[in-house]
Amino acid sequence: MKIRVGQGYDVHRQGEGEELWLGGIQFDHTHGLIGHSDADVLIHAICDAILGAANMRDIGYHFADTDPQYKGIDSKILLADVMKIVRDAGWELGNVDCTIVAERPKINPHIPNMKECLAKVMNVDVEDISLKATTSEKMGFVGREEGMAVHAVALITKA
C-alpha cells in the first residue's frame, strides 16, 4: 500500500458585506471573504492538500481563477471534483487535518456542521475530518481582520 501526505494553505481577504463561507457552511457575519469563487478558504486548502498528496498540482491548476466558468462557484463543487480526480487515479482519502486562523467570527461552534458538510461532499466518514480553529492573537493580516488563513494536511492511500 502506498501512503502519501500533502499540505495545503490558502488565504482570502475579508470584505464588508461579502458572504462568508467556510467548510461549505454560510456564516452570519458582517465581513465575508473575497475571491473568484465563493472564497471558501477552508475547502480551497483541503483541495490543495489532497491534490498535493496525489502529486496533481494545485487547485489553481485545475480550476483557474481566470476562467469565467468558476466565477462565484460553490467550492463544494470544486472539492467533489478534486475527490473524483484523485479517486480516478486510484487514491483514497485517509484523513484531513485543518487549522482555520481567524479572529472573528468564532469558528468552534460551527465545526460539527462543517465536518458533516465536508464528509458528505467528500464521501468519507466525519471522523476522517479534523477541524481546529485559532486566532493570530491580533497580529498580522488575520489579527487585523483583513483576511483569514487555513492550513491543511491530507493523507491518501493507494492499494
Q: Is 99 annotated as a binding residue?
A: no
Q: Is 65 annotated as a binding residue?
A: yes
Q: Is 151 annotated as a binding residue?
A: no
Q: Is 62 annotated as a binding residue?
A: no
**Separate counts of helices (H) and strands (E) for the chain:** 5, 7
The tally of CA atoms less than 13 A away on the side-chain side of residue 59 is: 29
Q: Is 44 annotated as a binding residue?
A: yes
Q: Is 31 annotated as a binding residue?
A: no
**H or E element that contains 114:** helix 111-122
Cell of 129: 475530518
Task: Say which residues have a Cβ less than 8 Å from residue 46's Cβ, sequence separation at least 6.
Answer: 8, 79, 96, 98, 118, 152, 154
Q: Is 64 annotated as a binding residue?
A: yes
> By C-alpha distance, which of 134, 136, 130, 135 is closest to 49?
130
Beta strand spans in 69-141 (E)? 92-101, 129-134
Q: Is 74 annotated as a binding residue?
A: no
Do 86 and 4 contact (CB within 8 A), yes or no? no
Binding-site annotation, residues: 10-12, 36-37, 44, 58-60, 63-67, 134-137, 141, 144
Binding-site annotation, residues for a divalent metal cation: 10, 12, 44
